[in-house]
Amino acid sequence: QGPRFVSAAPGGGFAVSEECGDVKVFTGGRELLCSLGSRYGHRFGNPAGLCVDRDGSILVADEQLRTVHLFPERGAPLCLVSAGLRRPAGLACSPFGQLFVADAGDNCLKVFKYCVRSP
């Protein structure tokens, strides 16, 4: 259960996915800020790639569950992609609301458009 993927996180910190585990968020001083699983009551299968969007939300690909979830700074997690993925690995966000998913199961890059509105 070692580290797999890493991404910059809001506030100068970083987030790390752990194989068959959780996603941990650290401060810029390398102190543990939170575990996304514990903070949101979310159970990951096998978290892989992650990124942070322009609103500061953390997006996580789950290889086992074949999903991409968005974890906002406030509010409940949202499932952005729940179909069409075989083994999502890497993620990247554009500042224009595009989500790029490297799908290792299909040997291709998939592009999604999303918009999340604050409640």
* % of the chain residues with pLDDT over 90: 84
State the pLDDT at residue 89.
95
Q: In terms of DSSP bridges, do strands 32-35 and 47-52 run parallel, antiparallel, or are they unpaired? A: unpaired
pLDDT tens across 62-102, in order? Answer: 999 999 999 998 899 999 999 999 999 999 999 888 999 99
Q: Which fold has domain 2-113?
A: Neuraminidase (2.120.10)
- 34: Cβ contacts below 8 Å, ≥ 6 apart: 24, 25
Q: Is the dihedral of CA 48, 26, 76, 119 positive or negative?
A: negative
State the pLDDT at residue 114.
85
Question: Strand, coil or helix: what is 44?
Answer: coil
Query: Any idea where the domains of the chain sit in the sequence?
Result: 2-113
Question: For residue 56, is pLDDT > 70?
Answer: yes
Kindly report the pTM of this predicted structure.
0.93
Question: Strand, coil or helix: what is 118?
Answer: coil
Return the closest-CA partner of residue 92 out of 73, 69, 111. 111
Read off the pLDDT of each residue in 52-61 and give the average, rounded to a whole number: 94
